[in-house]
A and B are shown apart, each in its own frame.
Chain A
Amino acid sequence: MNDVISWVIVVVILLSSGLILISKDWRYQLGALALQYLAAFWLVTRHQPFVIGSVKLVTGWMVVTVLGMTRLGLDENAQTTSTPENRGFPTALVLVIAFLAFGVAPRIEAAMPGLGLPVITGGLLLIGAGLMQLGLTSNILRVVISLLTLLIGFEIIYAAIENSILVTGLLASVNLGLGLLGAYLLLAGRTSLAIDPEEETE
């Protein structure tokens, strides 16, 4: 039963990665990112205790919230996306990533037995989608979402081989840091310089 759910989760990862690549609306992208964190929670708990998976889920959703709240405060035209107009190209990329991930996963499972095919496939899909997205955009929000996608993929696979609590904590800090950094960079240059009247008179 768990295996079936894991494969369903892999399909969710594929769809959410595709949505991030294809969609131009930041709301859908952040929604898809939140789904990816949920998927990561399930796949991480295949090898790690429930608590560790929960840490990743809670951190991830905090990151999504931070980015969402920040983006909500900006005007709609801010940060126009640089994704190609034609949606066929990103769709083709998603398919290429899917073929690669499903093709390579059995080989990795053979080289490192015990990780589990769904875990490897899900991780590779996310890493591939993150890398593809990074190559397509220079938009700050999309870059941050791509890096987070890539990190989720890495964390899913790494959780299967490393069970240190310190690593979990540090990875959570990296995720949260990227989210906060993304929010900072989205806001940078939009706030006017506040001049202290006392300093001005000096």
Chain B
Amino acid sequence: MNAAVIWILIPLLAGLLTLLFAPERFSAILGGALAVLLALTALIFPIDTALLIGNFSLKISASVQVLGRSFTFGVADGPLLAAIYGISALWFFGTQASGTSNRFVSLGLMIVALLTASIAVEPFLFAALILEIAAMLVIVLLVPPYQKPQRGIIRFIIYQTLAMPLILFSGWILAGVEAGPGNLSMTTQAGTMLGLGFAFLLAIFPLNNWIPLLAEEAPPYAMGFLLWALPTFTLIFALDFFDRYTWLRTSQQFSSAMQIAGVLTMTSAGLFAATQKQLGRLMAYAAIAEAGLVLLAFTVQSTEIVNLIFLLLIPRGLELAVWALGLSILKRESYALKFEELRGVARKYPIAVGAIVIAHLSMLGFPLLAGFPARLALAQELAPHALPILFWVYLSMAGLLIGLARSLTVFVLAPEGAAWKLAEDWVQVVMLGVGAIGLFILGIFPQTLQPFIAQLPTLFKHLGQ
């Protein structure tokens, strides 16, 4: 067997078959089960290592050639693949509870397969092209056939498409710089293009105006999936760049630029979050703030950089899944998800509201929740060298907290005498309950992530070594 066939081709074909043939009611179970199976395979069977089971020798080969280039997975990719498909399984199982059509599972499988291909392609630079193709599939997920596309989706296409040429050109120039490092002007040009390319992809301030717009227009569950999937793989791609080019790792200018971009992204998102009156936009700003936080993690001058970034990324998948599922349920009560239409909704949807609050608290780094350990570790790394930055980080968190306090006020503002109900069905209660418990487990016992994170630094030759 080949790793690329298992984790790229199979989900890609499964997604296509689900789209064409799977009945609506079974698609969530089929997609979720396949994702669990792929995650377990990645966890149990080491890549490129022969396993003797009875008389059978089993080996998942690491590489496959496609059109003269290779798609390669290393031994260290196993835990990463397990985490990716494990979190994807949560998203797919949640589709039934969110009321999303089977388009989500089928397109989701194809998107995850493509994104997985982006971490395997050699030379790694070509990942920019695969990310663009995946982004195009995400758009189909975000715009249902019955809904007219609005401004947010158009900006999203434009920004994603502009990123690709910038990254490909900068990669080519950096390869030249690597061969002859004396050319300083070329280095600056390449750095600028690269920075701009990733700013478009990661929605760094001020290139993130499409996210709140889109969060208002698109189904929350699809939006949450977008906010998890694309930035996660883009950040892995960015880590590859960092690992490959010494100049990027050691440049003080580049590090300062990333710190400024991170602070601006975080702070602006926090401040905007404090003034929002629409729940989708609130989730969007929380995700933007976290993107800024990850940028700050990139500037940490420590061997822990890889662990720190993945410690931020892995819980993010669960946080956004719980938050987006809660919003999807509330959307039945108020299609626009606006504050004025959601007064007292906690009495009718207590589990959904509770899950949204827990996910929100986790994303702003509240103790005992999944987001806390990563933020604590980041603060410890940043404090000795860049204490003022922490002020802006906490200011952003304060903004998110104000946003939460305002939404909580709306949730509990029920008319006098309104009775408590449980309008969620049992599938929704189970999914939200499992997700919320998961957030607590990751917060109280962060070492549960250790099997996934321990080997990840070996994915990179220089980072984290």
Contact = CB atoms under 8 A, between A and B. Distances in A.
Interface of A: 111, 127, 134, 138, 140, 143-144, 147, 150-151, 154, 158, 161-162, 164-167, 169-171, 173-174, 177-178, 181, 184-185, 187-193
B143 A138 contact: no
A192 B144 CA distance: 11
A138 B151 contact: yes
Interface string B57-76: 00000000011110000000
A158 B169 contact: yes
B6 interface: no
Contacts of A162: 168, 172
Given A143-B158, A151-B161, A167 B129 contact: yes
Interface string B136-152: 10011001111111010
B146 to A, nearest CB: 5
Chain A contact residues: over half helix, strand or loop, or mixed?
helix
What range describes how many residues of B lie at the interface? 20 to 34
A117 B69 CA distance: 30
Contacts of B133: 170, 173-174, 177
A178 B169 CA distance: 20
B272 interface: no
B126 A191 contact: no
A140 B154 contact: yes
B136 A181 contact: yes
Contacts of B154: 138, 140, 143
Given A134-B158, A150-B161, A167-B126, A185 B172 contact: no
Given A138-B154, A181-B136, A166 B126 contact: yes
B97 interface: no
B204 interface: no
A174 B147 contact: no
Contacts of B140: 181, 184
Contacts of B164: 174
A187 B168 contact: no
A185 B66 contact: no
B153 interface: yes
Contacts of A111: 186
A170 B126 CA distance: 9
